[in-house]
Amino acid sequence: MHNHLVVALAYDRLCTFEFGCVTELFALERPELDVDWYRFAVCASEPGPIRAAGGVTLAAPYTLKLLERADTIVIPGWRDAGEVPPKPLLKKIRAAYERGARLCSICSGVFVLAAAGVLDGKTVTTHWRYADTLQQRYPQLRVQPDALYVDEGQIITSAGSAAGLDMLLHLVRRDHGSAVANRVAQRLVVPPHREGGQAQFVPRPMPHGESGRLSRLMDWVRGHPALPHTLRSLAERAAMSPRTLQRQFHDATGMAPYEWLVRERVAIARELLEARALLPMARVAELAGFGSEESLRRHFRRIALTSPAAYRKKFGARETA
């Protein structure tokens, strides 16, 4: 990571929030982390004044030529999903991809990467509002509409604006490990991981009078993951019928209670694997509520797309006996 250069793309009608997320993650100096932090710069995709959302005008100090030296390029949401990006920009993106630069997009920024032809055959995501349009316009892509972000190695795409923070923290975790990423997240006052997909953020009205009970139930389950929860026991705890509880969970999260519970348990297992390097895997399974190592491995691989052991090796903090 020595002298790793992150370049944020700026363009007229810039998405101010998404651009700000990139700046917050990579432009600030972080001497307290004691790591070789990133270099950061901004380049303009076109000449002329850059107007950003909210009445802000931005002066970018570099041109597209800077992309020739970038190690990581981040594209905030593109100004119009229906507008083909300028050819000089697409040419620079393709060249950067061919020389091995890491390319990242937030929200509709994926349309720039798709237009550049660097996503063919890859799995990607974008804001749920644009998922169908992206898939129809670029049928050679595999659009995953319910993901917060998708890591394809050299290319990482994220969903709507705030999901950009999830992706950017993921980049820090990839580059510097979970301990550093967790400290950055702490400074940002955001969770280091967010579980679930975009389905939980698609507008779904919560039936009147039920949100408080369901919220209290979720908080209680998070504090007692190892108990043998069943649909009936959860319904009794929430003072609902099992059918009502199922409906409420789906309205609130897009998932059935059992799937939500499994994902919460995987989240707890992740935290244990990151923080407790010497904790036996059987104990991780027990504390997270899986009951057995086999159950932990099966669900963890399905949701986290890797094994618990591999996850610990990659993201676990060093711990001495």
Place 194 in a pLDDT band, splitting at 50, 70 and 90.
low
* pLDDT tens profile 172-191: 988 988 788 888 988 887 76
The mean pLDDT value of the chain amounts to 87
Return the pLDDT at 283: 94
Please state, in angstroms and rounded to a whole number, the distance separating the CA atoms of residues 57 and 53.
Answer: 9
pLDDT at 138 over 80: yes
Return the pLDDT at 207: 41
Please state, in angstroms and rounded to a whole number, the distance separating the CA atoms of residues 160 and 126.
Answer: 6
pLDDT at 210 over 60: no
- 255 backbone φψ class: left, alpha, beta (φ>0; ψ -120 to 50): beta
CB 125 within 8 A of CB 155: no
For the segment 127-145, the average pLDDT, to the nearest whole number, is: 92
- Strand extents, DSSP E, 107-195: 123-124, 142-143, 149-151, 155-158
Return the pLDDT at 208: 41
* pLDDT tens profile 26-59: 999 898 888 999 999 999 998 878 888 888 898 8
Return the pLDDT at 41: 96
For the entire predicted model, the pTM comes to 0.65
Q: Give the three-state DSSP class for 17.
A: helix
From residue 168, give the alpha-carbon distance in Å to each of 23, 60, 74, 104: 10, 21, 9, 9
Query: Which domains occur in the chain, in start order?
Result: 5-188 (3.40.50.880), 207-321 (1.10.10.60)
pLDDT at 137 over 80: yes
Instruction: List CB contacts of 229: < 8 A, sequence separation 6 or more.
Output: 221, 261, 289
Q: Who wins on pLDDT, 255 or 137?
A: 137
Please state, in angstroms and rounded to a whole number, the distance separating the CA atoms of residues 140 and 272.
Answer: 39
